[in-house]
Chain A
Amino acid sequence: MSDIGWKLVDWSVAGEGTLWLALTLLAYLGARWLQGKAKGNPLANPVLIAAAPLIALLVFTHTSYAEYSHGGWVLLWLLGPATVGLAVPLYLNFVEVKSALVPMIVALVVGSVTAVLSAVLIGYALGADIETIRSLAPKSVTTPIAMGIAKEIGGIPALTAAFVIITGGVGAICGSALFNLAGVTDRRARGFAMGVAAHGMGTARAFQVSLQAGTFSGVAMALNGIATALLLPLLWLLFAG
């Protein structure tokens, strides 16, 4: 029967998903336009600016996040291949990256451990639920990797995904000002710290500032994904096992 495939697809779901996907793209384009108008001011973060009206629209039309996800999953899925694309700037700048190997390894260990411990300890000190703390631990790692880690240590992956976005927003907005306060002018150091603390949203911000900062940020984001994925489950066994 030639029409079986047609009937297997729930077209009302697919149509609604496509509509939310189109609205998401529209919100992104609007956020980019606003960011341009704000002359690249870090407060004009495209993710936060685009998500806010979409959330308002979902609430206003009584649409659940699950229904939105019928379209949104496409973009979330694309994050995987886009992250793999980091191999290209990594390869093209391999010589420069390799020449800064020692500072990179030290900054990776210090930044990665600070990101995990500070989130866990602040959450613990202020009395957060253990499941919340587990979900907070991998917050500085990019979404697909952080969700995998949260599952591994008994957190809630979807909650982690939300924490990852807020972390990225905080990093992209506060990064430059904090580096200026700390007196760090080296673009490699600034970019690298952005990638370690604020993953792809920090990297997107770093690429706006300079190609060099963006490259080091991308390298840091990839390395921190590997380091946290390897170390956090072990750390968790040691402290909470």
Chain B
Amino acid sequence: MTARGFLLYALSFLLLVACNLAGGFIAAALHLPVPGTVLGILILLVGLAAYGRVPQPIRRMAEFLLYHLNLFYIPAGVGVMAYAALVRQDLLPIVAALIGGTCLALVAGALAFHWTAKLTGNAPDDRP
């Protein structure tokens, strides 16, 4: 990678960090009940729409981070250990709520989309 390329990727990363921080700052300043990261997504979206296209380094950096999204969940996964003792007496309701609740939400969400798309004549295409 050239020095110029590296600089552009570093700037793209800083842009994502800045959007996230700006979102958090705005949410705190205006006492909005919305998490800063959500506002950060909206800020970047509005910025891209105003610019009219996605610069290649920003696209590459965002896709790189999303491709490795699972990596960023691992510390919280390790954190399950820290709370195992705390939830021991509630273990059965927790396991039932997490497994049962998630399966219900998966099926309900998929069927709701599927049926509404059929009713409104919004057929899927077959792109991969």
- Measured CB to CB, the residues of A under 8 A from B are 24-25, 27-28, 45-48, 50-51, 54-55, 58-59, 64-66, 68-69, 72-73, 75-76, 78-92, 99-100, 102-104, 106-111, 114-115, 118-120, 122-123, 125-129, 132, 136, 139-140, 142-145, 148-149, 152, 158-159, 161-168, 170-171, 174-175, 178-179, 181-182, 184-190, 192-194, 196-198, 200-201, 203-204, 207, 210-212, 218, 220, 222, 225-226, 229-230, 233
Contact = CB atoms under 8 A, between A and B. Distances in A.
Contacts of B105: 111, 114-115, 118, 140, 193, 196-197
28 contacts: A28-B68, A28-B71, A68-B75, A75-B71, A80-B40, A81-B20, A82-B68, A84-B16, A87-B62, A89-B62, A91-B49, A102-B120, A114-B104, A115-B104, A118-B105, A122-B93, A126-B93, A132-B87, A139-B101, A143-B76, A162-B83, A163-B98, A165-B79, A184-B110, A188-B117, A198-B102, A212-B127, A229-B35
Contact of B107 (A142, A182, A226): A182
Nearest to A210: B128
B96 interface: yes
B41 A222 contact: yes
Contacts of B29: none
Interface of B: 13, 16-17, 19-20, 23, 33-38, 40-42, 44-45, 48-49, 54, 58-59, 61-63, 65-83, 86-87, 89-90, 92-94, 96-114, 116-117, 120, 122, 124, 127-128
A218 B66 CA distance: 9
Contact of A193 (B13, B34, B40, B109): B109
B72 A76 contact: yes
Closest 4 CB pairs of A and B: A111-B109, A72-B75, A85-B62, A51-B77
Main secondary structure of the interface of B (DSSP, over half): helix
B65 to A, nearest CB: 4
Contacts of B59: 88, 92
Contacts, number: 342
Nearest to B48: A91
Given A136-B94, A229-B35, 12 more contacts: A24-B74, A76-B76, A86-B66, A103-B112, A128-B90, A163-B98, A185-B124, A193-B105, A193-B113, A203-B69, A212-B127, A226-B38
Given A54-B78, A88-B58, A218-B66, A75 B38 contact: no
A207 B69 CA distance: 11
A238 B128 CA distance: 44
Contact of A233 (B33, B67, B103): B33
* Residue among B71, B98, B106 having the largest count of chain A Cβ atoms under 10 Å: B106
